[in-house]
Amino acid sequence: MLAYLGRRALLAIFTVWAISVLSFVIIQLPPGDYVTSYIAQMASMGSVVTDEEAQNLRIQYGLGQPIYVQYLKWMRLIAQGNFGMSMEWRRPVTEVIGERFWLTVVVSVASLFLTWVLALPIGIYSAVRQYSVGDYVGTFVGFIGLAVPNFLLALVLLYLGFTLFNAHIGGLFSPELQDAPWSMARIWDLLKHLPIPALILGLAGTAQQIRIMRANLLDELRKPYVVTARSKGLTEAALILRYPVRLALNPFASTIGYTLPYIVSGSIIVSLVLGLPTVGPLLLKALIAQDMFLAGTIVLLLGVMTVIGTLVSDILLVWVDPRIRLEET
Amino acid sequence: MAVLDPTSAPGPGAGAADLNKQRIFVASQWQLTWWRFRKHRVAVASACVVIGFYLVVVGADFLAYADPNASEAQRSLMPPQRVHWFDGGRFGPHVYAVKGARDLQSFKRVYRTDPREKIPIRFFAQGFEYRFLGLIPTTRHLIGVDGGRDAAKTIFLLGTDVQGRDLWSRLMFATRISLTIGLVGVTMSLVLGVVLGGLSGFYGGIADTLIQRVIEILRSIPTIPLWMGLAAALPRDWSILQVYFAITIIISLLAWTELARVVRGRFLSLREEDFVVSARLVGCSQMRTIFVHMVPSFMSHIIAATTLALPAMIVSETALSFLGLGLRPPAMSWGVLLQQAQNVQTVAISPWLMLPAVPVIIVVMAFNFLGDGLRDAADPYGR
Amino acid sequence: MAAEARPTLLSVRDLRTYFLQDEGTVKAVDGVSFDLYPGATLGIVGESGCGKSVTARSILGIVDRPGRVVDGEIRFRRQTATDGDLVVDLAKLTPNGPEIRAIRGAEIALIFQEPMTSFSPVHTIGSQIDEAIMLHQQVNRRQAREKTIEMLRRVGVSSPEQRVDQLSNQLSGGLRQRAMIAMALSCHPTLLIADEPTTALDVTTQSQILDLMRHLQREDGMAIMLITHDLGVIAEMATDVAVMYLGRVVEQAPVDEIFHAPRHPYTQALLRSIPRMRSRSRERLNPIAGAVPHPYDRPAGCPFHPRCPQFMAGRCDAEEPALRPVGDKHAVSCFLYP
C-alpha cells in the first residue's frame, strides 16, 4: 500500500511540475516581455519607470536570460509567495485573486460531493430495479446531463429563471452580502446559493457516474458470490449493499479522481455564465487583456488544486479496496 | 443454456431451424456487428440523425437562403417569423412582411408584421450565388422568394442577430464548421491515441510506463483553463484557417488520452489471448500479428470510442468560441453564434439567439447513442 | 433398503421453472418430480443445460431473474425445536421472505461449482462464514469466529486461525472448496445441495472432497443432493439417481439399478457413450446422435424423441410421457413402459 501511495504522490509532484511548465509557457507566449509592457502600462498612467527600476525588474524576472533560467526565477519567486503583478488591476496577483480561489474550491468540492451523493443511490437503484420507471427517469436525467454542455444548461436555466420566475439565479451571494466580510450570515448565504451552480457543474459528471455505477453493479449482480450470499439467507437489501455494491464501488472510486479536473474545468465557463465570483471570469478577462502573470498563476493554482484532489481520491481508493493494500495493481 | 454443436449429424427429428443457426457460424465479425447494431433502434435512429447533420455540412449553401455575412443594422435583432402554411385553404407557405422602426424612447428597434403584404416562400428558388460541392456554380437554394426580391431582406426563419444577419443561414454554415472541426480533431486524436496506446500496450515495459505516466499527467490537468491559455496566445493576425487548425491541434493534444487508454487496454488483453500467442508461434512477424490478427479484434471498439470522442471535441470548440477565445468572426461555428447569447439581459429580450444550442445538444445526444450502440454491437461477448 | 416407510426429507412434485424473456419462454424445468430421504444421497445427472442447477436454485428460491417457479410443489420437512417436524411447501413461501431466509443456510445449504467466484473477493473467508453463523444462531462475533475456525478445522483446512483472515484468492482450489463446504455446514443443515462441487477441481482434489463430503454426511446424518454430469461421481457417492433431460426427470432409481438395469433410452445411451478402459483401440465412441435442442425450440411430445433410437412415430412426438413406476423405487418417463 505504501508503495502504491508513494507512486501516486510522486506522480502528483510530476504533474504539478508539468502544470507549472505549461503555465509558464502560457505566460511567455504573447509577444514582448513583461517589463516592456509594464513600462508601457505605467507610462499610460502617467508615471515613469526609471531605468534603474526597469533593470531591477529585469534581473528579478530573469528577462533576457535563457528560458529555463527565467522559469527557475519564477519558481523561486513563487516559493517566496510572490506571484507577480497584475497589469490590468495594478495590484499583486494574490490580492486580485483573493477569495475567488477559495470560492472556486468551495464550488468544485460542493459539486463533487453532490455528484457522489446523487450518483451512488441513483446508480444502485437503476441497477437493482432495472427497466423500472425510476430507472428510466434516472437514465433520462443522466442523458440530459451528458448531452447538454454545462454552460448551455446554465444559460438555459438562467433564462428560464429570469423569464418565468423573475429570479436571478446566478451569483454566489445575495447583493448585500457580496463584498461583506465573512460571517455566519455570509456562510449561510453561500450555502443557499451553492446548490444550483453545484448541480449544473456536476450534472454531467453525475450522469457519467450513474452510468458507471449502474453498469458495474449490473455486472456484479450477475456474479456467483451474490447467489452464495442469497443462499445463506441474507435479506436482499443487506446482501446488495454488503457485496456487489462494495465491489462496484472500486472502479467507481477510481474514476472520482478524474471527475475533479472536469468539474474545475467546467466551473470556469459556468462561472462566467452565472456570474459567480470565482476564478473563471477573472481568467477570461486576464487572457483577453494579456495580463499574463494573472492568467498563468490562475492556471497554476487550478492545476495544483486538481492534482491534490486527485491524490486525495487515490488515498480513498486504497481505503476502499483491500486488494490494493495486499498487492500491486 | 443449450450447447450447439454444428459438427454432429442431426438426429432423426431435426428441423430447418438448425440450418438458420448455421448462418450465424459463418458470418464475419462485421456482419455480426451490423446485425446486432440493427437491433438497437435508438442507435440506428441516432445514426440517421448524424447522417442528416453531415448532409447539412455538404449542402450548407443549398440550405441557406441568405448571405450569412450580409449585415444590416436595420434588421438587427428581428424575432423569428411565423410561417403560415396555408393561403386561403391551399398549400402555400408564406410569411408576412416585417416593418421595422426605431423606438424613439429606448432607441431599440421594434418590429411589426404587416399581414396585408404576403410574401410567398418558394422551394428551390433562386438566391445568392455559390458553388455546390465547391465545383458547380449555381444559384438554387432550398427555399427563397421570387419576384426579384432578396431573400436576405424578407425571410427570417430564425430571426436575426445583433448585426442583422439571418440566423438560419448562419446556422447552416456554422454547422459545417463545427462538425468538421470535430472530424479533424478526432482524426488527430485517433492517430495519436492508436500509435501511443498501441506502443504502450503491445510492447509494455518502459515505453508503457512512460506513456502511461504522461497520460495520467494529462488527465489530471483541467483542460479548459489550459485551452483558454493556449488559444488566447494565438496571434491576433492569423487567418481564420490558421486559427481553425491551431484550435483543433490544441484540443486534440489533450483529447488523445482517452483513445490511447482504450487502445492500450485492448492491446494488453489481446496480447495474452491464445490466438495471438499461436500467431507468433506459427511465425508471424510482429507487424503481421498486430495488423492481421489483433487490430481486427478491436477495430469496432476503436470506432465506438472515436464516435464517443467526437461530441467532446465539438463541445470543446463550441465552449472556446463561446468564450471568444476559439474561432472568431467572420468565421461561423455554433460557438461563435452563441457568443451573442452570453449574458442574460440580451437573451431575455432575444431568446432566439440561444437557438444554436439546439443542434449542439442534438448532435451530442445522437453521437452518444450511436457510440453506445456501436460499442454494444462490437462487443464479441454481447448477446 | 426398506425406505418406503421413512418419511421423505424433500419431496418435489411437478416443479416448473420458466424464464420469461422477450424472445420466448425457456422452460428450464418442466415437470420435475423426485424424492429425497434423510441421510441419503440423491444424484441428479444430465447434460449441460438440462435444468439441474435451475432445479437446485428453485428449491431455495434463488433462481436468477427473469426465471420464476411457475408451478409445482416443493415439500420440505423442517425440524423445529418446539413443534417437532413441520412440512412446508417452499414454492408457496413469500419470495425472499423471512421463512425461506430462515431455511436458507440453516436447514438447506448450497455449495457451488466455482468456489473462487462464489466467495466475495474483497471480504475474508472468515467474515463470510461468520456471517452465515450469526444470521441463524444467536451468537456474538467472537463466538462465531470460534465456530468458524472449528468448522474449518473439521473440513481439513490446515492452520485455520490464519486462514480465517485470508481472501479467497489466497487459497488453492481444493482449500477454497473446503472453505465453501465449511460455510455451508456451519449451521448444520439437514440437506446439502451440491451443484457440481468437483467439476472445477483436479482429479486428486476431487476425490478428497468427495471423501470429505461422505465423512461429514455420516457424522451429521444429513442428506445430500448431488448435481453433476459425471457418472463416475454418481457411482461413487449416490444412493439414488435421477436422470434429467431438457428440464424433466426421465428416470429415477437406486444407483445400482441405474447402472445395471437402465430403462429409459436416454440413460441407456448415456451409459453406452462412456468410453471403456478395456475397449480395443480404434473402436469408435458412441455419442448420442443429434444435439441438445435450442431452449426456444423444444420438440413437441417427449423431448428426447429427435435423438431416440427407439422413437415411435405418432406417439413420441405427440404426447409427453409421465413418470411412471416400473419396479421397486424405479420410475421411468417413456412410452416404452406404459
CB B318 within 8 A of CB B338: yes
CB A7 within 8 A of CB A288: no
Any B CB within 8 A of A255 CB: no
By C-alpha distance, the chain B residue nearest C316 is: B13
Instruction: Map residue C31 onto helix, strand or coil.
Output: strand
Compute the average pLDDT of residues B6-16: 45
CB B319 within 8 A of CB A269: yes
**Contact across the interface for A225 and C131, Cβ inside 8 Å:** no
pLDDT over threshold 60, residue B8: no
Compute the average pLDDT of residues C93-103: 87
> What's the confidence (pLDDT) of residue C1?
41
Band of the pLDDT at C224, cuts 50, 70, 90? Answer: very high
| CA–CA dist A200, A209 (Å, integer) | 15
> What's the confidence (pLDDT) of residue C270?
85
> What's the confidence (pLDDT) of residue C206?
87
pLDDT over threshold 60, residue A314: yes
Measured between beta carbons, the chain C residues lying within 8 angstroms of B12 are 289-290, 306-308, 311
CA distance A270 to chain B (A): 10
Contacting subunits of C (3+ beta carbon pairs below 8 A)? A, B
Measured between beta carbons, the chain C residues lying within 8 angstroms of A231 are 60, 62, 104-105, 109-110
CB A126 within 8 A of CB A210: yes
Radius of gyration of chain A (CA): 24
Mutation target for A interface from B42, B178, B220: give the one with most A CBs within 10 A.
B220
Predicted complex ipTM: 0.83
| CA–CA dist B299, B377 (Å, integer) | 12
A 263-302 near B (Cβ less than 8 A): 264-266, 268-269, 272-273, 283-284, 287-288, 290, 295-296, 298-299, 302
| CA–CA dist B6, A79 (Å, integer) | 73
CA distance C189 to chain A (A): 11
Compute the average pLDDT of residues C161-175: 87
Predicted confidence (pLDDT) per residue in A182-227, tens digit = 778 878 888 888 888 888 888 888 888 888 888 888 888 888 899 8
- Where are any strands of DSSP class E within A68-149? 85-86, 91-92
Percent of residues in chain B assigned helix, strand, coil, to nearest 5: 60, 15, 25
- Pick the residue with more confidence: B19 or B170? B170
CA B209 to chain centroid, in Å, comes to 34
> What's the confidence (pLDDT) of residue C225?
94
pLDDT over threshold 70, residue B131: yes
Band of the pLDDT at A325, cuts 50, 70, 90? Answer: low
pLDDT over threshold 60, residue B13: no
CB B13 within 8 A of CB C313: no
| CA–CA dist C172, C115 (Å, integer) | 10
pLDDT over threshold 70, residue B315: yes
CA distance B283 to chain C (A): 33
Q: How many CA atoms lie within 13 Å of B327's alpha carbon, on the beta-carbon side?
A: 23
- Which residue in A232, A236, A250 is closest to C135 by CB distance? A232
Predicted confidence (pLDDT) per residue in A38-80, tens digit = 676 677 667 777 777 777 777 766 666 777 777 887 788 788 8
Band of the pLDDT at C310, cuts 50, 70, 90? Answer: confident
C 237-296 near B (Cβ less than 8 A): 287, 289-295
Residue entry with cell 487459497: C171
Any B CB within 8 A of C306 CB: yes
A 195-214 near B (Cβ less than 8 A): none
- CA-nearest of A258, A252, A272, A251 to A149 is A272
- CA-nearest of B227, B229, B296, B216 to B257 is B216
Contacting subunits of A (3+ beta carbon pairs below 8 A)? B, C
C-alpha cell of residue A312: 486525495
CA distance C308 to chain A (A): 35
**Contact across the interface for C131 and A227, Cβ inside 8 Å:** no
Predicted confidence (pLDDT) per residue in B272-292, tens digit = 778 888 887 888 877 777 777
CA distances from B49 to B44, B167, B224, B357 (A): 9, 21, 29, 16
> What's the confidence (pLDDT) of residue B15?
46
> What's the confidence (pLDDT) of residue C305?
83
- CA-nearest of C329, C322, C336 to C30 is C322
CB C251 within 8 A of CB C244: no
- Which residue in B219, B224, B235 is closest to A269 by CB distance? B224
Strands C240-245 and C41-45: parallel
**Contact across the interface for B354 and A11, Cβ inside 8 Å:** no
Q: How many CB atoms lie within 10 A of CB B45?
A: 14
Sign of CA dihedral C19, C20, C25, C30: positive
Burial of C274 (0-12, 13-18, 19+ CB in 10 A): exposed
**Contact across the interface for C122 and A224, Cβ inside 8 Å:** no
**Contact across the interface for B2 and C293, Cβ inside 8 Å:** yes
C-alpha cell of residue A303: 492545476
> What's the confidence (pLDDT) of residue B303?
80
Beta-bridge partners for B99: B112
- Which residue in A149, A264, A296 is closest to B222 by CB distance? A264
pTM of the model: 0.75
C-alpha cell of residue B332: 461561423
**Contact across the interface for C103 and A233, Cβ inside 8 Å:** yes
By C-alpha distance, the chain C residue nearest A324 is: C122
Contact partners, residue C295, CB within 8 Å, separation at least 6: B1, B2, C26, C27, C28, C49
CA distance C83 to chain A (A): 22
Determine the residue type at B53: F
Percent of residues in chain C assigned helix, strand, coil, to nearest 5: 35, 25, 40
> What's the confidence (pLDDT) of residue C241?
93
Q: How many CA atoms lie within 13 Å of C147's alpha carbon, on the beta-carbon side?
A: 23
- Which residue in A224, A236, A243 is closest to C112 by CB distance? A224
Contact partners, residue B85, CB within 8 Å, separation at least 6: B91, B92, B93
Band of the pLDDT at A328, cuts 50, 70, 90? Answer: very low
Q: Name the region of A32 (left: φ>0; alpha: ψ -120 to 50; beta: rest).
A: left
What is B36-83 written as a DSSP string?
HHHH-HHHHHHHHHHHHHHHHHHTHHHH--S-TT---GGGTTPPPPPP
> What's the confidence (pLDDT) of residue C226?
93
C-alpha cell of residue C49: 443445460
| CA–CA dist A95, A294 (Å, integer) | 10
Q: How many CB atoms lie within 10 A of CB B155?
A: 23
Instruction: Map residue B86 onto helix, strand or coil.
Output: strand
> What's the confidence (pLDDT) of residue C58?
92
Band of the pLDDT at A321, cuts 50, 70, 90? Answer: low
Give, for C105, the enclosing helix (H) or strand (E): none
CA distance B271 to chain C (A): 24
> What's the confidence (pLDDT) of residue C242?
92
| CA–CA dist A154, B35 (Å, integer) | 40
C-alpha cell of residue A61: 524576472
C-alpha cell of residue B138: 449555381
pLDDT over threshold 60, residue B14: no
Tell me whether the omega of the peptide bond preceding residue C306 falls within 30 degrees of 0, making it cis.
Answer: no
CA distance B46 to chain C (A): 24
> What's the confidence (pLDDT) of residue B18?
52
Predicted confidence (pLDDT) per residue in C234-268, tens digit = 998 999 999 998 888 999 999 998 899 888 888 88
Any A CB within 8 A of B348 CB: yes
- CA-nearest of C276, C262, C278, C239 to C310 is C262
Predicted confidence (pLDDT) per residue in C26-36, tens digit = 888 888 988 88
What angle, 0 to 180 degrees and rounded to 10, lies between the N-to-C axes of helices C125-136 and C141-154?
A: 110
> What's the confidence (pLDDT) of residue B20?
52
CB A243 within 8 A of CB A229: yes
- Sheet with C324-327: strands ordered across: C108-111, C191-195, C223-228, C41-45, C240-245, C248-254, C330-332, C324-327
Band of the pLDDT at B370, cuts 50, 70, 90? Answer: confident
Mutation target for C interface from B8, B39, B40, B41: give the one with most C CBs within 10 A.
B8
CA distances from B316 to A257, B322, B361 (A): 21, 10, 13
> What's the confidence (pLDDT) of residue C239?
92
Residue entry with cell 473439521: C154
- CA-nearest of B240, B251, B261 to B315 is B251
**Contact across the interface for B224 and A284, Cβ inside 8 Å:** no
Predicted confidence (pLDDT) per residue in C187-210, tens digit = 889 999 999 988 888 888 888 889
Contact partners, residue B137, CB within 8 Å, separation at least 6: B129, B130, B131
- Sheet with C24-36: strands ordered across: C24-36, C10-21, C67-80, C84-89
A 8-67 near B (Cβ less than 8 A): 11-12, 14-15, 18-19, 22-23, 26, 29-31
pLDDT over threshold 80, residue B96: no
**Contact across the interface for A247 and C64, Cβ inside 8 Å:** no
> What's the confidence (pLDDT) of residue A7?
81
Determine the residue type at C138: Q
Band of the pLDDT at C277, cuts 50, 70, 90? Answer: confident
**Contact across the interface for A232 and C183, Cβ inside 8 Å:** yes
pLDDT over threshold 70, residue A310: yes
C-alpha cell of residue A205: 459528471
Band of the pLDDT at C223, cuts 50, 70, 90? Answer: very high
